[in-house]
Amino acid sequence: MRIVVTGAGGQLGSDLCRMLANETVIPKDLPEFDLTRQGGEDQIFDARPDVVIHAGAYTDVDGAERTPDLAMAVNRDGTARVARAAVRAGARLIYVSTDYVFDGTATVPYTEQDVPNPLNTYGMSKWLGEQAVLASGADALVVRTAWLYGHHGKNFVKSIMSAVRREPALRVVSDQRGCPTFAEDLASALLALMAKNVSGVIHVTNRGDCTWHEFAEAIVREMGLAVPVAPISTGEAGRVAKRPRFSVLNQDRLVSLGIVMPEWRRSLAQFVNRQASGSFTGGGA
Ligand SMILES: NC(=O)c1ccc[n+]([C@@H]2O[C@H](COP(=O)([O-])OP(=O)(O)OC[C@H]3O[C@@H](n4cnc5c(N)ncnc54)[C@H](OP(=O)(O)O)[C@@H]3O)[C@@H](O)[C@H]2O)c1
CA distances, 196 to each of 24, 253, 257 (Å): 19, 13, 9
For ligand 1, the distance from its centroid to the CA atom of residue 206, given in whole angstroms, is 19
* Residue pLDDT, tens place only, 119-171: 999 999 999 999 999 999 999 999 999 999 999 999 999 999 999 999 999 99
* Residue pLDDT, tens place only, 254-282: 999 999 999 999 999 999 999 888 765 44
Measured from the CB, is residue 5 less than 6 Å from ligand 1?
A: no
Active site residue 100: no
Tell me the mean pLDDT in the region 76-101. Answer: 98
Measured from the CB, is residue 12 less than 6 Å from ligand 1?
A: yes
Output the residue whose Cα is nearest ligand 1's atom 40. 30
Tell me the mean pLDDT in the region 106-111. Answer: 97
Q: Where are the domains of the chain?
A: 2-153+179-206+247-261
The residues, any chain, with a CB within 8 Å of residue 24's CB and separated by 6 or more, are 1, 2, 3
What does the pLDDT read at residue 278? 77
As a whole number of angstroms, the distance between CA 250 and CA 272 comes to 26
What's the mean per-residue pLDDT of the chain?
Answer: 95
* Residue pLDDT, tens place only, 23-77: 999 999 999 999 999 999 999 999 999 999 999 999 999 999 999 999 999 999 9
Architecture of the domain defined by 2-153+179-206+247-261 = 3-Layer(aba) Sandwich (3.40)
Tell me the mean pLDDT in the region 214-240. Answer: 95
As a whole number of angstroms, the distance between CA 231 and CA 212 comes to 9
For ligand 1, the distance from its centroid to the CA atom of residue 59, given in whole angstroms, is 5
Strands (E), 130-261: 139-145, 148-149, 170-173, 177-178, 181-182, 200-203, 210-211, 229-232
